[in-house]
Homo-oligomer: A and B are copies of this chain.
Amino acid sequence: MQINGKHFRTIWVDAENRGKISILDQRQLPHHFVIEHLHCLDDAITAIRDMHVRGAGLIGATAGFGMYLAAINAPENGVDEALEEAASRLNKSRPTARNLGWAVERVLAAVRTVRAGGDKKKQAYQTACEIADEDAAFCKQIGEHGRGLIEAISRKKNGAPVNILTHCNAGWLAFVDYGSATAPIYAARDAGIAVHVWVDETRPWNQGAKLTAWELQQEGIANTLIADNAGGHLMQQGMVDMVIVGSDRTTHTGDVANKIGTYLKALAAHDNHIPFYVALPSSTFDWELAEGAKIPIEQRSGDEILWISGMGHTGKIESVRLAGPGTQALNFSFDITPARLVSALITERGIVQPSRQAIHALFPDKVLSLSHA
């Protein structure tokens, strides 16, 4: 991703100091572009839990590097114990995010293969880097597969801009590069297809207003911010050609956990015969769960609803309270869109129907170990 002409990933290792992992503090966007450094496991946990980083792939990559930081800060003969403890703590930091547990388990498994006397810290490093590189590569492939869906609509519209609605940020900022929901949009743009994106502001954390609108603007892609409430009306008016969202966890039967409010957009797309796509790398699939209702749904502080921050007239980021002093708020972060409302999933291996049979057929290697599910 280019930011003011310079290529960035959302997370990277310092070339001079491998104990220093850099991220963007996404809480400051779009107002300030702040690079933050992670030096230890606690830094990584704080960054994930308090949403300095967020989004399926980036949570996974940060968890991978968090495991690596735990390993390099452990005594030589205490790496295994340090990683077990790190895994347990990281897994609790964001309960719905599937990529988190997947990345943690991948580092653990890789380090387990290191024979006695081998370099476990080096293995943790290599695996964390692999997770990040693979995330970027898979998102790029998601882009290639998804581009065809946009292209087909563009042809039907004789080249008029394809109007794509997205919810939350499943963009470059949610992964290591490219994004999941945005990757097909970037690939379509690269192929010369005219696109316009409706950006749901995505209350309460406002990922759309703060991140997606900024990210698309940096890439020069036409976009318009809307209230989350508006998508249904736009669909009724014929102003939306397709919906593409990401996912924080998808069952191997096709039920999709994604940012709260996704289900409402899926219902509206279905009611208006508009295709509703979910873009995700295979690392987001939960191969253990067959029912979306069993996905744990994170609940965050009600203060995220009662207070909001933005750029004040003084040029500083300020918080204001939206409701009266005694008001209580409840804040679920995700909801489940049942497979019946999903037109198709866009994965790194191709486009697949949201059904157990189709998903298993595309990922036979992932389900081999699933005899108990």
Contact = CB atoms under 8 A, between A and B. Distances in A.
A231 B263 CA distance: 10
Interface residues of A, number: 64
Given A227-B260, A236-B263, A260-B233, A320 B318 contact: yes
Interface stretch (A75-83, A151-159, A329-337, A352-360): A329-337
Nearest to A302: B225
Contacts of A261: 227-230, 232
Interface in A266-311: 267-268, 271, 293, 297, 302, 305-311
A209 B322 contact: yes
B229 A260 contact: yes
A293 B323 CA distance: 34
A65 B140 CA distance: 62
A201 interface: yes
Contact of A308 (B31, B260, B322): B322
Contacts of A312: 312, 318-321
Interface in A314-354: 317-324, 326-332, 334-336
B229 A264 contact: yes
A217 B324 contact: yes
A313 interface: yes
A202 B229 contact: yes
* Copies of this chain assembled into the complex: 2
A224 interface: yes
Nearest to A331: B227
A217 B326 contact: yes
A328 B224 contact: yes
Contacts of A318: 312-313, 318, 320
A204 interface: yes
Given A31-B324, A320-B308, A321-B311, A267 B271 contact: yes
A252 interface: no
A263 B265 CA distance: 11
Contact of A335 (B225, B233, B329): B233
A201 B332 CA distance: 14
A331 B302 CA distance: 26
A121 interface: no
Contacts of A161: none
A210 interface: yes
Contacts of A230: 260-261, 330-332, 335
A226 interface: yes
A234 B326 CA distance: 22
Nearest to A216: B327
A150 B223 CA distance: 43
Given A224-B330, A232-B264, A264-B267, 6 more contacts: A210-B322, A227-B331, A232-B267, A233-B336, A236-B335, A312-B312
11 contacts: A201-B323, A203-B227, A204-B227, A214-B327, A224-B329, A225-B330, A226-B329, A230-B331, A233-B263, A312-B321, A317-B320
Closest 6 CB pairs of A and B: A229-B261, A310-B320, A30-B324, A233-B335, A267-B267, A225-B329
